[in-house]
Structure 1
């Protein structure tokens, strides 16, 4: 299915190819050429720093046509700055015309293929297809750990508090622990509290925290940073990240190298010295490439897990998590929009189903028990209190998708603040 998705990506990118397009020298750096690309700011096409384009002179008609590879140094509003070999630069004249061919970034795909292979190699069957045989009949530790929560608001939320306790106790291992609920129920808050508590309670723990996007990963890191020292926390960025978009609060605990003007990959020894590493699920694959030993991470947390295809989610654990002793925690909402794919065939055969959704749909451990009508909180917690929405907004999704169990806890003054807005459509009686 990954091959089907890649083929469709190759087909789709072709529609952005350009012919007879001019390039000019960059005024601030004569070694770079500037190409005007309408729509690049809206990811049409998607071009990131570190990607490459292929260009050939429009005047070349006879075979073999020389093709030059240009590496993207900077992406601006409607133009990209490209670095080429000396061979092209020496013969370049401003406004020369080129045929331009865009390419897909195969790195995430390569990481996904490798992750699937590593999952088999490292025997992650009980993590990806858990039976619960190790944990189902194991009694909960008594007495329950009395945690001093960093976020005091969680003390008043029984579901969030229970989820944190179960994660810290590791009662589901080796099966993943799932935290799910609709927007506004505090999934990320719960995950962040669990990360901090594991860090405090288990001094030997090494934690990897991931999300599919940079924005979600940054949010995790910023919130963890509130109670964890910079010498213990590290934000690992990919080379393609625009340094200008890195939050100020994270600039001192990430892999940006001012002297080299780029993100650098630290040594294995340096990385292993940190207690908590935060990265996107794809960038987490570089930790395997960098030689971190299997089982180095005792806990792996993946937020927004419902937005990642399963092989992408596996990147963050395969080759990094110990198959039996490690704890995987997934947070997300299988009822929201899932992974976005291009291939209809890949969608048809299930690639669009995230690991989180598959576990909740197909695995009895993560489904409501017939007798009690409740989820087994050894393996999963459903967050019920919504802190964001007006009751009228919550009513329909609550009835359609959440069994009518959601409770309104949004601040009354805040949730009603726009009810009398003059432009708000009013129901005609």
Structure 2
């Protein structure tokens, strides 16, 4: 399909004017920064300024000008402090020798030269780079989008004296499912002035991105034949019908084509909108106010700091070996601030990561990665700074309410520090307080005696707790007796000489279920036969295959066979470590110790584990060294596992070190549990799944250069863990005890070479077969296609989707009300990737008395299972003008998160999402194809060929962008038919094409 293309002169559009008389580009145009619209011809700019859309944006936002950065800044409250504290502003101010905080907004100077800031691309450029940028593909795409918006706005306005009602669009509002099924009717009015000549309405077209899969009578909005001639002074009604059988947002464009005097043709457009759903849900969950970024506190540097008292938990342990500070080197700090992200990445790579990873550079490589990650984490924590808040005195402590704390944003623990400064500048000091208590969304802090909370207000800066990072640096710096066999194992260091057969070294299992699983028995037996000085042995456990059961059986067998054995068992999280301890809780409190961090919340510790812990009055503690030596098993998190080294326990005390869920931890985290305590005789066992969630790493630089690859995953890329060494250096568990075959089939094929065997209890896995909730009675997987709307709440950057939240509640209600297929609320889990959506769904379920349904992120559900799992993917876009498709996918596009999410369900899996967005990702597209072809699809049909092979060399974003661009161009040609300045594509545009990818 041909496209309408425009080539604007950037000097005329953005700058002070074009002086080249031979310039062939378009000059008669003007750009509105506020609306990101190109007005052509320039004469319509004044009309645009009077439009309701521009007025709304102006009232909502407003602009001010930064004379340092020479860019416009939103005048919304709180945005200017964010800007002046931003890295770009500080860098520009430093270059000009100006105090960045003292800069005040001004009006733009009339002699402002060509702009160096690109509004759409969010880039500040030097003048010599400006020309290259504006001719680049990204900018041209955004420029074309601005042109499209301009054409649409122009089509909203009346022409030739013709007036069309509903300038802001015809909105049916939120309507119930029942009302939408019956259909609703409304009218748009067309009026001509009494002194005008007659005009004809020649056609009425509905234009939609989501046409594919719909017949003409199946479209949400429908119009009848055009009314024909409209006489002067006459008012004509255009009836609009809306009818739909599914929930969601629906938005389309009505194009009214006119023919007037002298056969002049023009088009007037009107948006048509409707939301099908529960009005009460939309009212309850709507944003309280529009999203704006948190304002950063104005922070005065160089002031003296006075500190409060540290909590007793930080002073309790008797450390023999002190933690080094391990501060970020000054040169690396400067390097990380030396330019934009691409420049910094290139410089960091050249200086720190140019050589391949090897034993000689391992310590420095990972120390640098930790410092880079720390730098990014500190920067991210600044988003949670609080401005102009008041503390409340409670005894000797001071309390402060911290919104988002219940969701660990920011993450604050007992012992963490915060810094505060008086907002009125009355104190020439910084107060450092230490957190003594964390409850829900309130922290209680100790300050120096000079702190006053009576009438003063403070800015608050949260400080990063560096102790976990310092422990990791300590482990990296420790001298391992045989580092190569642990960190870079090679041929000859395999755990076994050969793979064990079923009759080799028979095992009498404690857990009789293990006796029926050949792979588990082989794994247990292999651990028992590991050679001293061997490489770490890996137990690869896909979802539901019982890897934790296997290592617990191995630990019990070790203890049974060797009275002198001592075991350290670790996992990245408290919950995963608790599972190990709980399954070993048959050991006495004198044999098993669950080591908790001093700051752990006692409410999170299971009752069955309390006898195996040591808790002082207000914190968890570590027993004396003599007592520690007597325990046969100590269970800890990876991050806390250095306790043994720091209290003086000798290297080699533990005969075995186990790390469960090892695929979730960074390499330095795992080495914290290994490198400080392992001797040449220590057997090391890693269990996990490199196909599930990996480490959480904030810095893209650190992630791309190795910190995002777990220790277990890196080891498995070495030759000693290849397929030929299966059963010798590693074992893969194969029997899945969790899921129905239809739930397991797609992830099994995609991630596990189809090796997993379905072994779950049919009474559970088949418990929804025949349920009326299913689209296909024998296929317990549903994809519910819905086009919703992305929202954000106030200052939270996290997205939520009311339509999907409401749909999730409806599914939960239907499941719990179906007595023929009974299920309890605690057997239903809801997984969604955004904190805001978690909160919104929890609110709806709590208000409906379904509070026992667990709702959380993918990370929360790793290692868990439920009979029924409902997934809300959140990101959506029903607006034709929302041109960018790739950005809307967000971090839903992550193979490991996908794998974890869809493998939690035992008997029923329901996915609620927008297929037009998810189809950008090949894994999601393949999954949706699988569900559709097996009859589990609910809602509008896919807009792509479900039988076409899935590409494996990237995503579909470019293809989708191309299709969207073609749709926009066709729509734009329809808007501008008969006008000058554009190619006449009326023949093409009159046909409503299906929205699908182009070849």
Q: TM-score, normalised by structure 2?
A: 0.40
- Give the distance between the partners of 1:235 and 1:160, measured in 2 at CA: 25
Secondary structure at the aligned position of 2:706 is classed as coil
Equivalent in the alignment of 2:380: 12
1:34 Cα deviation from its structure 2 partner: 0.9
1:428 Cα deviation from its structure 2 partner: 6.7
Equivalent in the alignment of 1:293: 650
The alignment status of 1:122 with 2:481, answered yes or no, reads: yes
- What is the aligned counterpart of 2:392 among 13, 19, 24? 24
Cα gap change, 1:96 to 1:309, in 2 (>3 Å)? same
Equivalent in the alignment of 1:106: 466
Conserved 8 A contact 1:122-1:318: no
- What is the aligned counterpart of 1:407 among 743, 757, 762? 757
1:61 Cα deviation from its structure 2 partner: 5.1
- What is the aligned counterpart of 2:561 among 201, 204, 211? 201
Equivalent in the alignment of 2:442: 79
- Give the distance between the partners of 1:420 and 1:25, measured in 2 at CA: 60
Equivalent in the alignment of 2:615: 256
Equivalent in the alignment of 1:235: 594
Conserved 8 A contact 1:172-1:379: no
- Give the distance between the partners of 2:615 and 2:770, measured in 1 at CA: 47
Equivalent in the alignment of 1:335: 691
- Give the distance between the partners of 1:283 and 1:428, measured in 2 at CA: 45
Cα gap change, 1:159 to 1:68, in 2 (>3 Å)? same
- Give the distance between the partners of 1:428 and 1:222, measured in 2 at CA: 38
Equivalent in the alignment of 2:629: 272
Equivalent in the alignment of 1:372: none
The alignment status of 1:41 with 2:406, answered yes or no, reads: yes
1:177 Cα deviation from its structure 2 partner: 0.8
1:58 Cα deviation from its structure 2 partner: 2.0
- Give the distance between the partners of 2:384 and 2:493, measured in 1 at CA: 52
Q: What does the per-residue CA deviation read over 1:396-417, in whole Å, with 9 as the maximum and x for residues that have no partner?
A: 1111111111100011120111
Give runs of aligned pairs for residues 347-366 of structure 1, distance below 5 A.
347-360=703-716, 362-366=717-721
Aligned pair count reads 410
Cα gap change, 1:173 to 1:207, in 2 (>3 Å)? same
- Give the distance between the partners of 1:428 and 1:304, measured in 2 at CA: 32
- Give the distance between the partners of 2:622 and 2:437, measured in 1 at CA: 20
Cα gap change, 1:100 to 1:163, in 2 (>3 Å)? same
Give runs of aligned pairs for residues 157-172 of structure 1, distance below 5 A.
157-171=517-531
Aligned-residue Cα RMSD (Å) equals 2.0
Equivalent in the alignment of 2:109: none
Equivalent in the alignment of 2:417: 52
- Give the distance between the partners of 2:936 and 2:641, measured in 1 at CA: 53
Equivalent in the alignment of 1:396: 746
1:265 Cα deviation from its structure 2 partner: 2.3
Secondary structure at the aligned position of 1:328 is classed as strand
Secondary structure at the aligned position of 1:86 is classed as coil
Greater mean deviation of Cα atoms: 209-218 or 172-181: 172-181
Q: What does the per-residue CA deviation read over 1:164-208, in whole Å, with 9 as the maximum and x for residues that have no partner?
A: 001011147421111112110000000110111111111111100
Cα gap change, 1:417 to 1:11, in 2 (>3 Å)? same
- Give the distance between the partners of 2:370 and 2:628, measured in 1 at CA: 30
Q: What does the per-residue CA deviation read over 1:7-35, in whole Å, with 9 as the maximum and x for residues that have no partner?
A: 00011001111111011123xxx111110
Conserved 8 A contact 1:239-1:262: yes
Secondary structure at the aligned position of 2:707 is classed as coil
Conserved 8 A contact 2:774-2:936: no
- Give the distance between the partners of 2:463 and 2:449, measured in 1 at CA: 22
Equivalent in the alignment of 2:506: 146
Conserved 8 A contact 2:373-2:697: yes
1:72 Cα deviation from its structure 2 partner: 1.4
Secondary structure at the aligned position of 1:53 is classed as strand
Secondary structure at the aligned position of 1:291 is classed as coil
- What is the aligned counterpart of 2:701 among 307, 323, 345? 345
Greater mean deviation of Cα atoms: 275-284 or 166-175: 166-175
Conserved 8 A contact 1:141-1:169: no
Q: TM-score, normalised by structure 1?
A: 0.91
- Give the distance between the partners of 1:333 and 1:318, measured in 2 at CA: 22
Cα gap change, 1:176 to 1:334, in 2 (>3 Å)? same
1:47 Cα deviation from its structure 2 partner: 0.8
The alignment status of 1:178 with 2:538, answered yes or no, reads: yes
Equivalent in the alignment of 1:211: 571
Secondary structure at the aligned position of 2:723 is classed as coil
Conserved 8 A contact 2:496-2:529: no
1:57 Cα deviation from its structure 2 partner: 2.0
Please, which runs of 5 or more residues in structure 2 have no aligned partner?
Answer: 1-368, 777-934, 938-999
Secondary structure at the aligned position of 1:262 is classed as coil
Conserved 8 A contact 1:172-1:378: no
Greater mean deviation of Cα atoms: 329-338 or 145-154: 145-154
- Give the distance between the partners of 2:718 and 2:756, measured in 1 at CA: 23
Conserved 8 A contact 1:132-1:172: no
- Give the distance between the partners of 1:217 and 1:211, measured in 2 at CA: 5
- Give the distance between the partners of 1:6 and 1:192, measured in 2 at CA: 34
Conserved 8 A contact 1:171-1:378: no
1:37 Cα deviation from its structure 2 partner: 0.6
Conserved 8 A contact 2:697-2:708: yes
- Give the distance between the partners of 2:425 and 2:770, measured in 1 at CA: 65
Which structure: larger Rg? 2
1:321 Cα deviation from its structure 2 partner: 1.2
1:141 Cα deviation from its structure 2 partner: 9.0
1:158 Cα deviation from its structure 2 partner: 0.5
Equivalent in the alignment of 1:306: 663
Q: What does the per-residue CA deviation read over 1:71-116, in whole Å, with 9 as the maximum and x for residues that have no partner?
A: 112222221111223332xx442x5311101011111111111111
1:364 Cα deviation from its structure 2 partner: 1.5
- Give the distance between the partners of 2:758 and 2:669, measured in 1 at CA: 34
Q: What does the per-residue CA deviation read over 1:208-236, in whole Å, with 9 as the maximum and x for residues that have no partner?
A: 0000000000110010112x222111010
Equivalent in the alignment of 2:492: 133
1:134 Cα deviation from its structure 2 partner: 4.3
Q: What does the per-residue CA deviation read over 1:264-313, in whole Å, with 9 as the maximum and x for residues that have no partner?
A: 22221111111110000011012111111111111000000000000100
Please, which runs of 5 or more residues in structure 1 have no aligned partner?
Answer: 370-374
